[in-house]
Structure 1
Amino acid sequence: MLRHALAPLFEPRTLLVAADRPLPVLHSLPPALREKLVLADCAPGEAPSGPSPEVGQGRPDLALVCVAPRLLPRTLAWLAAWRPAGAIFLPHDEADPDPAASSALCRDWALAHKCALLGPNSFGVQRPHAGLNLSQHPLLARSGKVALVAQSRAIMASVMDWAEDVQIGFSTALALGDEAVLGLPQVLDYLASDPRTDSIALYVEEVGFAREFMSALRAAASVKPVVVLKAGRALDSSLADAMFDAALGRAGAVRVRYFVQLFSALKVLGYARRPRGRRIALVSNGSGPPQLALDLMGPNAPTVRAELTPPTLRALGEVLEPGVTPSNPVITYLPLTPARTKAVVDALQEDANVDGVLVLLAPDARSDIPAVATQLAELAPKARKPVITCFMGDAGMRPLRRRLDDAGTPAFRTPESAADAFGVLATHHYNQQLLLQTQPPEPPGRPPDLGQARAIVAAARAAGRRELNQDECEALLRAFDVPVRIAEPDASPPDDALAVPAAIRVETGARFGPVLRLGVGGPAGVLDVSDRGMDLPPLNAFLARQLIERSRLWRRVLSGSATPAALDALRGVLEQVSDLVTELPDVETLALDPLHVGDSALTAGGVCMVLREQAACDSPQAHGYPHMAIHPYPTRWVQARAFADGTPWVVRPIRPEDAEALQAFTRGLSERTRYMRFVSMMRELTPRMLARYTQVDYHRELALVATTQVPNPEHRGHPREIIIGLAHYLRNPDGRGAEYALVIGDDWQRRRLGFDLMSVLIEAAREQRLEYIDGLVLANNRPMLALMTRLGFVNDVDEEDPQMRRVWLDLATAGPPPA
């Protein structure tokens, strides 16, 4: 397999150190790396000098540099002879008179020498499991499964100090510095595939180009939990901050609001159990602790109090003291015992209305709290649903919390932090459902009339207008089949309309592009930008329904008054408006306000559309939808084909719901075919690999499946769809090229399927303006090498492994595949 481009930074095999002061790296360097260590001569206040690379020595994996800013040009000139694959530039005591110039110098040098450079002014990198302290922090963190990435050295140092005190470990810890070359997207891309990392925590101040950030975040969050602490809310507008919230939800990540919540998130992310919902049962040995936790729960919070079923209430009645009427929270004032604790938690675990259990315990001299902690430490890691604990206090309770932590189940100091932790888990479950959503392969109604819509926009621009008139607005809505009636000016609301009008608005932000908002109509609605009834396009039916149910309008008006037909119409309007702003990037703002909700239809009392100041691209599909933070499902590549014998098959981009079919396809491959594709004897895809292949962000990759219909004996021979081939490419970190892979089912080989799939993949790569695609193929895989040669690929011996071939295609110069 290809080594990741950032592997030299995180997994260096050779190391060059150029620093004018001692660095902690030398205190814990692994023996294998110590043998490959080169120390430069670097006196204080001087640029590095000697030694020079020996002939045939090869480029080192990593250079660790700490020199005065004024010496940066001479240091880079010296470093050029070594040509390191990666470099970390640490901060220096001497002030930099021109940080922007230093950053530009590092960027230009790194690009010229193809070096993955972190910094300048980076905290550095720690990889505790490997004994690597490539930072200036004096202590190497404990080894763990959480990766911590920050855009602040001060935040990183604080979290590291706190983590040492509470014994939390990390797989990776790094702060980015000035991000001359490497930023959040590239680091996220590496951590998504890092086997040492199970979850990722980000401290973010500025996301930069939203499409790259969202693409990398969605790819990482599809396989590992990601939690984000975003600073700068005071500087952002309310709408910009709400847009960021919506973006994180669609990325499948979790946002925390406060620094202290990040600690709770770090603890709980390492917990193997995940809730399937937000309904929490509370258990306590007093009434105070659960009340503090309940203050953080409710309809507008990530978690709610569970309504216990009658069987659970009866079971609890047999365990609790006489005369107590069981309810949630479950409170007992008797001395707590391990047996009673287990009985209560077991009963709650069996309740279908409970998604997780929160145990809140205060010190009690009458109870054997250490024995109860031991029982929970044994019970919680094996429970089907998450069990999170809070042991309030310090002197006597801190050792008990650590006992739970060591057992693999998180324990917290306060009810609020424990409730926050459950909120992180519940929000992660909800946002993962949003992440999995894609648009249907074909429009549910008639396709939009794009020609007519673009002609309307062009005519308005030709007339020198940005604001469309009423007729043009109505024509655009008709072109996209938006199911809404437009009322005559000054017309009264329909007789069956709800008393409170709604409004659907689209606004375009500089960072995340267009955002759809559902709220109350009229002036009050314009002012309210903090409503959670908003989302980024593209939407499907599920996402539109979730947007509605998150809104205040739903909670306060629609949930109790609107008919199912009206809600269906509202969902349809949101979907079609989403399509409109997806395919017409010229539209900057749109408003259906007021929007009257009747028994079965929607009537807009007003409609307004304003175009961007500068004209957008004519075909967003061909240009990758640059105006959006999330690339829509590429319906362009859904194509019906047929084999020479007339058997029909379809090529289309893969979808999350293809996971089961893809696993069946993999299991059905012969051992030779599996080995030729995966270079291993694996019999099936791991859950993480399955998610990685089916939950695709179409900005950075494309996975095409070939499918056909076969009889299904389990359903009276009715046809079912199966996958018979897979072609995939993933953008390389350089942004210019992509790594491809291809596998064809054994029963479908020698039917030109591989040729046709790769031809579509090449066409798609060209459309995304990639310069090349390449991949590694086993040297003895003659059929694959022959196919690639026929497609015009170049076959080179891999420099690192003579048993592999690097097979690549220059997309700029190669002609179309032969017929």
Structure 2
Amino acid sequence: MLRHRLAAFFEPRSLCVVADTELAVFTQVPAYLRSATDLLPLPDDPALAQQQLSQWTMTPGRDLAVICVRSGLLAAVLQQMAVAPPRALLLLPGQVVDQAPQDTRDLIQAWCQEHSVMLLGPRAFGIYRPHLNLNLSLAQMQPRAGRIAVISQSRMLLRSIIDWAEDVNLGLSAAVSLGEVTDVDLPELVEYLATDPRTDSIALYLDKLTSGRELISALRAASSVKPVIVLRAGRSDAELSGSDAVLDAALRRAGAIRVNYFVELFAAIKAMSYARRPRGGKIAMLANGRASAQLVQDAIPAESSMLMATLTQGTVKCLSEIFGVSTLVDNPVIPYVPLTPDALIEGLRCLIADSQVDAVMVILAPDEFCDMPKVVEALAAFAPGASKPIVTCLLGEAKMRPLRRLLDQTGMPAFRTPETALSAVLSLTSYHYNQQLLQQTRYVHSGQRPAELEQARAILEAAGREGGDQLSREQCIALLECFHPDVHWERDEEDEHFSTQDDVPSVMIRVSRDPIFGPWIWFGEGGHLVRFSASDRGVDLPPLNLNLAGKLIERSRVWRQELQSYVEPQILRKLQGLLETISEMVSELPAIESVELDPIVLGYRDLHIHEINIRLDVSTPVAIPQKTGFSHMAIYPYPTHLVQSRVFADGSPWVLRPIRPEDADALQDFIRGLSEKSRYMRFVSMMRELTPKMLTRYTYVDYHRELALVATTQIPNPANRGLPQEIIIGLAHYLRNADGVGAEYALVISDEWQKRGLGRSLMDALILAARQQQLSYLEGVVLSSNRPMLHLMTSLGFINEEDAEDPSMRRVWLPLNLEEQG
């Protein structure tokens, strides 16, 4: 198995440390590294340090070198290391302030490029790997081992997080700050920790943003398998690149959790360390005081994904029997009798059993009429095994702090204020909401009219020849009509009915371009004087499907404050369709700089557009985005261009297409339907079905970095009156290797559909796509006894080699010579 290149930083097999200050690693070298570590502590005197350096020779082949010296010594250290450069270099800040930091950056960058060395720094905090007892930083503290990784663009903030984690008994799997990164970037760190088996969730602090596509791609891949929590400073700093509202939208679509304040970051980290996560946003509260519950309710943001659950009549009756008829059971649940351990647990069981409840918040204040330690002990014993999340808030300090620690030690999140407890619950519900957005794809359904793309590009080319960046009204309408919108075009002077009635609602759709994340879409109130508010969540990134468009409308301020009470369902569906159409247009036409449809008047049956304006970026050529990898967008759309209708030799139809998240059930049925021999040949095991993580990994694909293709056909479905049902009959996919330049492929064909050329068709399409993504090679491992697969691979040009580690396997690989593509 190939080793990820960042493993040299996070799991070094050998180490060299050169420092003129005392580092923890000098006295705490991990046991597994003691025989493979060079330590060179240097004296404070620069002349003596130079003399010692001149007599030192670095051992060749070291994975990682750590340097922490004053700037005047750096050149001498690098000169000695040049004889045997390490694979990676971590540059910590020296104790003496660097008076020429740019010179230091230039020196270290040039040296690392000359010697092909990965660089983390300068001025990096360093790296913690607690499970390895590895502390490569200036700090002397060693956090306890856990399952949360922290990445920070601020080393001082990272130190604060580590200190806080120690106080609340929270373990970390890794901690790293980037410093002034010149080689190792943020997306690659996220990607590495996404595959780290020691990490269950990732906390990320960022300020400056550079690569929108790479960052969102890495976050989408990571958050599909583990929670990612993001805090960003500088929301009001105009010097920082990229709109904060657009970053919000990008993180939602990436499945990540955005928090706004430092205290919320801590709350989210604690919440995500909990094993249970809700399957929805409906919350029940149980409190021993009305005021504390009201404080939480008052703080729930109107636009949040969290809702107060409506308890069923059975639950109301159950709670009344447990706590007495005087109990308030309308959610929040407020018992007016002193709590007992048994009553609390029975009440929680009742709430958890309610189908309308996704999570429970317990809010307890000190009460002299109950034995609070016994109550909390019962809660600590019950909550970790509950089938739904339970988040607690224990108000108070002197008496309640030890009880919070008791809950923390059981792995159950406990908070000291209603506000922090609410932040924790909001992070849990946001995670569920954003995961639903993450799983959405947009593709053309059968029966939909495909867009007239050639005609649309011809309109833009004609406008470009005219020399302006603003399309005329006629050109705007003609361009949008190429995508078949379900709208009516109006002119104000010709449509007095809509232009003169103030009570007729109107909305607008605007598209702008962000320097980091590309085109973004805003749905809001119609009218020429309407200005964008950074707090409006009616913002999203293309591509949109109908579901995503509906979520966008529901999040918008105009929907929540005005439209939701009276807009008819058919008009809502048409608004969703129009947003999907606009999204498709800006996805397929990279030259579009901005779009404005305002006002869009909501009629009884139709949408009436009065004005449309489209502006072009004259510096962007009219290009086919598939050929440029949709480089103008942060999210790579579903590759519709790879969908192909085909027939077998006997005339039977089948479809080759990229996989979609909603294929999960069909893929599981496909795997279950394989013979034991086929499953063994593919997975080298007798597994009968895919694990949930494997199912997610195969069906959720970041099309920017990898690909999974399925072959499907239609069969009669007896359970649905014999109507056609799509089934999967073949799967081919590749996942990028740890080296980032190659990929490992896999191919499996349903038993009854073998020997029809299906495997060759899938592999031909996979190889072509790998070349288009500029991969250097494809490789796979095949059982030596699987002669049909080996024959297919060699006929496709793959090289068949022995597997050095396992003689029962063969390694087959194909170099992808990009020059041969013409």
The match for 1:408 is: 411
Name the amino acid aligned to 1:790.
Answer: S
Q: Which whole-Å CA distance do the structure 1 matches of 2:58 and 2:683 have between them?
A: 36
Q: Establish whether residue 420 from structure 1 lines up as the match of residue 423 from structure 2.
A: yes
Alignment of 1:109-258 (within 5 A): 109-111=111-113, 113-236=115-238, 240-258=243-261
Q: Name stretches of at least 5 consecutive residues in structure 2 with no aligned partner.
A: none
Q: Which whole-Å CA distance do the structure 1 matches of 2:358 and 2:721 have between them?
A: 38
Name the amino acid aligned to 1:405.
Answer: D
Please tell me whether the aligned partners of residues 498 and 597 of structure 1 are also in contact (alpha carbons under 8 angstroms). Answer: no
1:310, distance to aligned residue in structure 2 (A): 2.4
Q: Give CA deviations for 1:647-682 in whole Å, capped at 9, x if unaligned.
A: 433221111111222233334445665555445565
Q: Establish whether residue 18 from structure 1 lines up as the match of residue 23 from structure 2.
A: no
The match for 2:528 is: 523
1:555, distance to aligned residue in structure 2 (A): 1.6
Q: Flag the 1:50–1:813 CA change in 2: closer, same or farther, 3 A.
A: farther
Name the amino acid aligned to 1:635.
Answer: T
Q: Flag the 1:322–1:796 CA change in 2: closer, same or farther, 3 A.
A: closer
Q: Flag the 1:319–1:493 CA change in 2: closer, same or farther, 3 A.
A: farther
The match for 2:620 is: 615
The match for 2:308 is: 305
Q: Which whole-Å CA distance do the structure 2 matches of 1:65 and 1:510 have between them?
A: 36
Q: Flag the 1:527–1:250 CA change in 2: closer, same or farther, 3 A.
A: closer
Give the secondary structure class of the aligned counterpart of 1:621.
Answer: helix
Q: Which whole-Å CA distance do the structure 1 matches of 2:439 and 2:732 have between them?
A: 20
Q: Establish whether residue 514 from structure 1 lines up as the match of residue 514 from structure 2.
A: no
Greater mean alpha carbon deviation, residues 331-340 or residues 431-440: 331-340
Q: Which whole-Å CA distance do the structure 1 matches of 2:418 and 2:464 have between them?
A: 58
The match for 1:329 is: 332
Q: Establish whether residue 705 from structure 1 lines up as the match of residue 710 from structure 2.
A: yes
Alignment of 1:679-718 (within 5 A): 682-710=687-715, 712=717, 714-715=719-720
Alignment of 1:148-547 (within 5 A): 148-236=150-238, 240-297=243-300, 299-442=302-445, 445-492=448-495, 494=497, 499-547=504-552
Q: Which whole-Å CA distance do the structure 2 matches of 1:192 and 1:40 have between them?
A: 34
Q: Which whole-Å CA distance do the structure 2 matches of 1:376 and 1:469 have between them?
A: 67
1:461, distance to aligned residue in structure 2 (A): 1.3
Give the secondary structure class of the aligned counterpart of 1:561.
Answer: coil
Name the amino acid aligned to 1:244.
Answer: L
Alignment of 1:72-91 (within 5 A): 72-91=74-93
Name the amino acid aligned to 2:417.
Answer: T
Please tell me whether the aligned partners of residues 15 and 33 of structure 2 are also in contact (alpha carbons under 8 angstroms). Answer: yes
Q: Which whole-Å CA distance do the structure 2 matches of 1:82 and 1:693 have between them?
A: 42
1:181, distance to aligned residue in structure 2 (A): 1.0
1:226, distance to aligned residue in structure 2 (A): 0.8
Please tell me whether the aligned partners of residues 360 and 389 of structure 1 are also in contact (alpha carbons under 8 angstroms). Answer: yes
Give the secondary structure class of the aligned counterpart of 2:148.
Answer: strand
Give the secondary structure class of the aligned counterpart of 1:526.
Answer: coil
The match for 2:565 is: 560
The match for 2:96 is: 94
Greater mean alpha carbon deviation, residues 656-665 or residues 437-446: 437-446
Alignment of 1:773-788 (within 5 A): 773-775=778-780, 783-788=788-793
1:91, distance to aligned residue in structure 2 (A): 1.8
1:95, distance to aligned residue in structure 2 (A): 3.3
Q: Flag the 1:181–1:325 CA change in 2: closer, same or farther, 3 A.
A: closer
Q: Give CA deviations for 1:292-350 in whole Å, capped at 9, x if unaligned.
A: 21122253234232222322222222223454453222112322101111222222222
1:251, distance to aligned residue in structure 2 (A): 0.5
Q: Which whole-Å CA distance do the structure 1 matches of 2:448 and 2:673 have between them?
A: 37
Q: Name stretches of at least 5 consecutive residues in structure 1 with no aligned partner.
A: none
Taking only the aligned residue pairs, the percentage that are identical comes to 50
Superposed CA RMSD in Å reads: 2.8
Greater mean alpha carbon deviation, residues 1-10 or residues 334-343: 1-10
1:730, distance to aligned residue in structure 2 (A): 3.2
Q: Flag the 1:411–1:527 CA change in 2: closer, same or farther, 3 A.
A: closer
Match of residue 575, structure 1, among 566, 573, 580: 580
1:749, distance to aligned residue in structure 2 (A): 4.4
1:234, distance to aligned residue in structure 2 (A): 1.6
The match for 1:6 is: 6
The number of residues matched between the two structures is 814
Q: Flag the 1:68–1:690 CA change in 2: closer, same or farther, 3 A.
A: farther
Please tell me whether the aligned partners of residues 16 and 38 of structure 1 are also in contact (alpha carbons under 8 angstroms). Answer: yes
Q: Flag the 1:18–1:781 CA change in 2: closer, same or farther, 3 A.
A: farther
Please tell me whether the aligned partners of residues 488 and 608 of structure 2 are also in contact (alpha carbons under 8 angstroms). Answer: yes
The match for 1:765 is: 770
Q: Flag the 1:673–1:414 CA change in 2: closer, same or farther, 3 A.
A: same
Match of residue 70, structure 2, among 68, 82, 90: 68
1:630, distance to aligned residue in structure 2 (A): 0.4
Please tell me whether the aligned partners of residues 538 and 582 of structure 1 are also in contact (alpha carbons under 8 angstroms). Answer: yes
Greater mean alpha carbon deviation, residues 265-274 or residues 59-68: 59-68
Q: Give CA deviations for 1:673-721 in whole Å, capped at 9, x if unaligned.
A: 5555445565433222221221111111111122334455555665533
Q: Which whole-Å CA distance do the structure 1 matches of 2:163 and 2:814 have between them?
A: 49
Greater mean alpha carbon deviation, residues 414-423 or residues 76-85: 76-85
1:805, distance to aligned residue in structure 2 (A): 5.9
Please tell me whether the aligned partners of residues 623 and 768 of structure 1 are also in contact (alpha carbons under 8 angstroms). Answer: no
Name the amino acid aligned to 1:666.
Answer: I
Please tell me whether the aligned partners of residues 9 and 116 of structure 1 are also in contact (alpha carbons under 8 angstroms). Answer: no
Q: Flag the 1:799–1:614 CA change in 2: closer, same or farther, 3 A.
A: farther
The match for 2:636 is: 631
Q: Flag the 1:315–1:234 CA change in 2: closer, same or farther, 3 A.
A: same
Q: Which whole-Å CA distance do the structure 2 matches of 1:591 and 1:747 have between them?
A: 53
The match for 2:610 is: 605
Q: Flag the 1:230–1:131 CA change in 2: closer, same or farther, 3 A.
A: same
Give the secondary structure class of the aligned counterpart of 2:564.
Answer: helix
Please tell me whether the aligned partners of residues 41 and 49 of structure 1 are also in contact (alpha carbons under 8 angstroms). Answer: no
Q: Which whole-Å CA distance do the structure 2 matches of 1:312 and 1:689 have between them?
A: 37
1:518, distance to aligned residue in structure 2 (A): 0.8
Q: Which whole-Å CA distance do the structure 1 matches of 2:802 and 2:414 have between them?
A: 53
| TM-score, structure 2 as length reference | 0.93
Q: Which whole-Å CA distance do the structure 1 matches of 2:817 and 2:350 have between them?
A: 65
Q: Establish whether residue 595 from structure 1 lines up as the match of residue 597 from structure 2.
A: no
| TM-score, structure 1 as length reference | 0.93
The match for 1:652 is: 657
Give the secondary structure class of the aligned counterpart of 2:493.
Answer: coil
Q: Which whole-Å CA distance do the structure 2 matches of 1:497 and 1:506 have between them?
A: 26
Give the secondary structure class of the aligned counterpart of 2:746.
Answer: strand
Please tell me whether the aligned partners of residues 702 and 728 of structure 1 are also in contact (alpha carbons under 8 angstroms). Answer: yes
Q: Which whole-Å CA distance do the structure 2 matches of 1:43 and 1:313 have between them?
A: 73
The match for 1:728 is: 733
Please tell me whether the aligned partners of residues 328 and 334 of structure 2 are also in contact (alpha carbons under 8 angstroms). Answer: no
Q: Flag the 1:713–1:443 CA change in 2: closer, same or farther, 3 A.
A: closer
1:422, distance to aligned residue in structure 2 (A): 0.4
Greater mean alpha carbon deviation, residues 150-159 or residues 172-181: 172-181
Give the secondary structure class of the aligned counterpart of 1:219.
Answer: helix
